[in-house]
Amino acid sequence: MTRPSMLRRLALFVYLTVASAAGSAALPAMVDDQPLPSLAPMLERATPAVVNISTISVVRTEDHPLLRDPFFRWFFELPRESRRQRNQSLGSGVIVDAARGLVLTNHHVIDKADEIRVTLSDGRELAADLLGADPETDVAVLQIPAEDLTALPIADSNELRVGDFVVAIGNPFGLSKTVTSGIVSALGRSGLGIEGYENFIQTDASINPGNSGGPLVNLRGELVGINTAILAPSGGNVGIGFAIPINMAEAIRRQIVEFGGVLRGTFGVSVQDLTADLARALRLASGTRGAVVTAVEPGSAAEQAGLRAGDLIVDLNGVGIGSATDLTTELALLRVGDAVAVEAIRDGRSRRLSAVIADPYAAFVDGASISEQLDGALLGEIVDESHLGSNPGIAVGPVVEGSNAERSGLREGDVLFQINRQRVKTIAQLRAAADGGITRIRMRRGERLVTLVSR
């Protein structure tokens, strides 16, 4: 190669290197007279509404699991007091009402917290009051002093489509104002065992510990979901995150703000998805969607409305029902006394039925009317004994946190079948057995038999 050729190549190399370095150092603001796309303007509007939530909880600790057994402590005359340990946790939240200072987050972020503090994007740290929470949907509502706050506008999550771009904002691992982007990977995810009522938005936007309770927004900066969980088989983020649709979270928020909590009723149906085989058996047209009724509880609102096993529910209160999850989700947002308008297909014909959501604890009695030790729990006789084997008894309904009943060891879902060594199946038998005080309770908790002893 001649010297002039080498010089020309060297000059070309230097030119390309310098041009490349210049290009990587500063991207042009415009390309072909068009501005480069950026999420920055939207995020500048949205991030002031995102908050950091820190909690402190005081828990009792024991040296050995046996020390948690009240009978063991009673037998060895050990003191009831135990050591206390302070735990701290971090999460995220989003302001949804600036005028009233309302913040949405996850129930698991603030669960059992003795102190909740909210840090705003401008650095202000405020004490927060817990207005209420719903463990079944993992939604909690906090209130902070409403001064110079910014709230996110709320979108209609029913309008989301798979493939829509979304952005997750939060404080993963305590790193504030972290933003990740992705798309809606799927809608209506359920059966994950994360919450009692599941209808998740699935996204590949990175969600990590600390993101819980933070917002999932669309490209307009509107709130479409509350980030809540990830699927992490390897322990890290693999691009499968889940958010509670904002329509569900907002319905729960409204109930908590208005009533102080969520009082779910019962409709009384068991349903399943419509399969191809069921569609043929029910002689339904191709493409029909809905929730197939597999059983109707006797005396329930569903029975009073006229529903039967084999009916296909396709609409509830004007909302189209495409699956069993759709129906379960819509029913979960209704309160006791709410009216229900159902459209169902039976024998190829559409039928319109109506009912009122019933109170599942209407026949329960206040534990305080039986014994001071049961104060704070609702108790009711079990009608259907089939699932309890040979130990039917008294069902324990909701238990007030911090009440005598909770301190006695009762939990919602327990079934009492022996009080002071006397068998109880009715409220009358329970009253008689508890007369003079309760020293021993024998009960079923799930698949376990539990004994509570009072000194």
For residues 230 and 370, what is the distance between their CA atoms, to the nearest angstrom? 45
For residue 335, what pLDDT is reported?
85
388 lies in the same domain as 308: no
343 lies in the same domain as 401: no
For residues 44 and 218, what is the distance between their CA atoms, to the nearest angstrom? 14
| Burial 319-350, CB ≥16 within 10 A → b, else e | eebbbbbbbbbbbbbbeeeeebebbbbbeeee
In a domain, 5, yes or no: no
In a domain, 8, yes or no: no
In a domain, 181, yes or no: yes
For residue 116, what pLDDT is reported?
92
For residue 288, what pLDDT is reported?
83
Kindly state the greatest CA–CA separation across the chain: 113
Check residue 316 and report its DSSP letter.
Answer: E
**pLDDT tens, the chain, 455 aa long:** 544 444 344 343 333 333 333 333 445 566 666 677 788 889 999 999 999 999 887 765 555 555 556 656 666 555 555 555 666 668 899 999 999 999 999 999 998 888 999 999 888 999 999 999 988 889 999 999 988 999 999 999 989 999 999 999 988 777 778 899 999 999 988 777 666 778 889 999 888 878 889 999 999 999 999 998 877 666 566 778 899 999 999 999 998 998 888 888 888 888 998 888 888 888 887 778 889 999 998 888 899 889 999 899 999 988 888 888 888 888 888 888 888 899 999 888 889 999 898 888 888 999 999 999 999 999 988 765 545 555 678 999 888 878 889 888 899 889 999 999 999 999 999 999 998 889 999 998 887 888 888 75
For 218, residues 6+ apart whose C-beta sits below 8 A from its C-beta are 155, 160, 164, 165, 166, 167, 224
Give me the active site residues, please: 108, 138, 212
In a domain, 116, yes or no: yes
131 lies in the same domain as 165: no
For residue 81, what pLDDT is reported?
55
In a domain, 53, yes or no: yes
For residues 215 and 447, what is the distance between their CA atoms, to the nearest angstrom? 38
For residue 264, what pLDDT is reported?
82
369 lies in the same domain as 416: yes
Residue 92, domain CATH: 2.40.10.10
Taking only Cα atoms into account, the Rg of the chain, rounded to an integer number of angstroms, comes to 28
Of 303, 333, 356, the residue that ends a domain is: 356
For residue 67, what pLDDT is reported?
59
Total number of domains in the chain: 4
Report whether 276 contacts 311 (CB < 8 A).
Answer: no
Task: List the structure tokens of 321.
Answer: 């029902």
For residues 76 and 83, what is the distance between their CA atoms, to the nearest angstrom? 18
97 lies in the same domain as 174: no
For residue 83, what pLDDT is reported?
57
Task: List the structure tokens of 64.
Answer: 């050995």
The parent domain of residue 374 ranges over: 365-453
For residue 23, what pLDDT is reported?
38
For 142, residues 6+ apart whose C-beta sits below 8 A from its C-beta are 53, 93, 102, 103, 105, 110, 116, 118, 128, 129, 130, 131
Report whether 416 contacts 424 (CB < 8 A).
Answer: yes
